[in-house]
Amino acid sequence: MRNYSVAGLCSSAAIALAACAAAPSTPEAEAGPAGAAGTPHWETVWFDDFDGDSLDRERWAPEESCWGGGNNERQCYTDRPANIQVEDGILRLIARKETYTGPLRADQHGSEEREQPYTSGKIRTRGLADWTYGRFSARMKLPEGQGTWPAFWMMPSASIYGRWPLSGEIDIMEAVNLGTPCEDCPTGIENRTSGAAHFGDVPPDNTYLFLKIPGETPESPADEWRVYTLEWGAGEMQWLVDGEVFMRLDADDWYTGSANADGRPYAPFDQPFYLMLNLAAGGNLPEKSNEAGFDPDSFPAELLVDWVKVEQCAGDLETGLSCFDRQAWAGTPKGPWEVQAR
């Protein structure tokens, strides 16, 4: 959820999907059958179903920052119940209209501060858990409204190849302005989510690849629970919604401008990454998409998360590829040169 143009806006894009049941469920109900003994299979290595009445601080660390994510977002992320709640087995990240002053950058308390007109929640596993290769899933219900921007994404734990995006970024799910009029949507209403990978050289020579779901049915990810998944292995990534592949990339599709990548054919996506969930208020992408601008009536808004699960390929931890869901897929990822006003 970073810069969306090659020159520095944040990217996202979209997807196509099937519907999930309306009531919360356990991840076991969503998982496929376990592999036979000795057969590579996905095995859960990290999981949070948000049981209890507070965030598990051994799994997640809230971010506190007001810098706007590099996208002119309008919120401060806070570590307060007003913005991060766990209740009835559901994580709620809540964006609200309220003037708030906090640290400009995360982890820089006592230094420069900024005032913003909105607050929201962002949590991450940075410093607590990270992974190289695996299957990363979350079951979520997304907010509606012009200016809303929920995301489920991954960033590198260490900048082995250099600053963003030399070390890469993986956006498992993003959505903007759900439920608003959309000229290029088949139903005329925005009901699409997206996945993307960011890579390349330092801005303005950064780039990305993405794809949007077709959005050919009226069902909205704001009205029903859906499972958003990334399968990531050595030299390959694929994105799924409710078990259906909507985008696939391999190492021929990405690169890094870092000299540290010499002799590493899968760089930058060959290092440990951590998970994040957040709900942004405004920013370059939503405010330049759909009806354009920012609608204060979209807030308060909530990103609801039923569970988050990380699996790794037992029997093939080195590459993870033996566990991939090998569906037929004939789509074509898009790049920033194909982005049109939305």
Active site residue 291: no
Q: What is the mean pLDDT of the chain?
A: 90
Kindly list the distances between the CA atom of residue 140 and the CA atoms of 20, 51, 222, 258, 308, in Å, as whole numbers in the listed order.
10, 15, 9, 35, 9
Containing 87, the helix (H) or strand (E) segment is strand 84-87
Q: Where are the alpha helices (DSSP H) in the chain?
A: 27-30, 284-287
pLDDT at 8: 36
pLDDT at 106: 87
Please tell me what DSSP assigns to residue 144.
P
- Selecting among 30, 73, 144, 174, the annotated active-site residue is 174
Is it the case that residue 274 has pLDDT exceeding 60? yes
Which tokens hold the place of 182? 């959309």
Is it the case that residue 302 has pLDDT exceeding 90? yes
* pTM reported for the whole predicted model: 0.90
What average pLDDT does the segment 156-174 reach? Answer: 98
Judge whether 233 and 132 are in contact, CB under 8 Å.
no
Judge whether 61 and 67 are in contact, CB under 8 Å.
no
Q: Which residue has the higher pLDDT, 269 or 184?
A: 269
- Selecting among 169, 190, 231, 236, the annotated active-site residue is 169
Please tell me what DSSP assigns to residue 290.
T
Lowest mean pLDDT among 23-37, 44-58, 285-299, 326-340: 23-37
pLDDT category of residue 18 using cuts at 50, 70 and 90: very low
Kindly list the distances between the CA atom of residue 38 and the CA atoms of 69, 133, 281, 316, 322, in Å, as whole numbers in the listed order.
44, 20, 47, 10, 12
Q: Report residue 28: phi and psi, to 5°.
A: -60, -35
Is it the case that residue 9 has pLDDT exceeding 70? no
Length of the chain: 342
pLDDT at 55: 98
pLDDT at 47: 98
Active site residue 58: no
